[in-house]
């Protein structure tokens, strides 16, 4: 007479299934309750601490039309738990009568510092030879979009810069 295999009795099988189901279920809840907050913690942006502010960049009364000038100014930047006061630059151009443009100091390709080439009348990036015209538009090279611009306003002959806005559109 064969031995009775208790583990295959129907009630035993359902109980086993019940245990296994609960083990998987409970561990899934725990895993979710730990990993979702962890993902939020790492991926969500931190709460805004400081409203964007206007920074004085320099005097524009001596600015010649269509002659870009590199202005150096200090800016407060939120860096994690610190607020860093750091030197920043902007390329400022008087485009026409009252129209001003202030370009962020980094090439839109890979972030190198570009400069104004007086001879060619272009902004030239030394890294991968991206070339921008005086409006910031891409003339040639690998840069994917025009130069980024600061928000600008003028008060009493002084140029005030707001946040740097990422430029849109292709070359």
| Site residues (vs other proteins, CB under 8 A) | 16, 19-20, 22-23, 26-27, 29-30, 33-34, 37-38, 40-42, 44-51, 80-82
Which C-beta is closer to other proteins: that of 22 or that of 154?
22
Which C-beta is closer to other proteins: that of 15 or that of 115?
15
CA dihedral over 65, 66, 71, 77, signed as positive or negative: positive
Which C-beta is closer to other proteins: that of 52 or that of 157?
52
- Dihedral angle computed from the Cα positions of residues 72, 74, 75 and 76, in that order, rounded to the nearest 10 degrees: 160
Which residue is it, tokens 């610190």? 82
Which C-beta is closer to other proteins: that of 53 or that of 135?
53
In angstroms, what is the minimal distance from the CB of 160 to other proteins?
16
Structure tokens at 6: 């208790």
In angstroms, what is the minimal distance from the CB of 31 to other proteins?
10
| Residue 80, phi then psi, degrees to nearest 5 | 60, -120
In angstroms, what is the minimal distance from the CB of 41 to other proteins?
4
In angstroms, what is the minimal distance from the CB of 100 to other proteins?
23
Closest CA to 57 of 22, 96, 92, 29: 92
For 98, which DSSP code? S
């Amino acid at each position: 007479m064969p031995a009775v295999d208790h583990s295959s009795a129907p009630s035993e099988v359902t109980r086993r299934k019940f245990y296994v189901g609960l083990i998987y279920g409970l561990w899934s809840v725990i895993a979710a309750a730990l990993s979702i907050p962890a993902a939020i913690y790492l991926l969500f942006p931190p709460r805004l601490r400081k409203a964007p502010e206007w920074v004085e960049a320099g005097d524009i009364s001596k600015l010649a039309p269509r002659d870009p000038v590199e202005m150096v100014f200090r800016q407060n930047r939120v860096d994690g738990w610190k607020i860093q006061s750091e030197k920043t630059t902007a390329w400022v151009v008087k485009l026409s009568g009252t129209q001003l443009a202030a370009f962020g100091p980094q090439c839109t390709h890979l972030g190198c510092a570009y400069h104004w080439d007086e001879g060619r009348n272009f902004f030239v990036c030394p890294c991968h030879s991206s070339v921008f015209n005086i409006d910031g538009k891409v003339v040639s090279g690998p840069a994917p979009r025009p130069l980024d611009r600061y928000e600008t306003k003028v008060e009493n002959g002084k140029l005030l810069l707001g946040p740097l806005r990422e430029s849109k559109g292709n070359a």
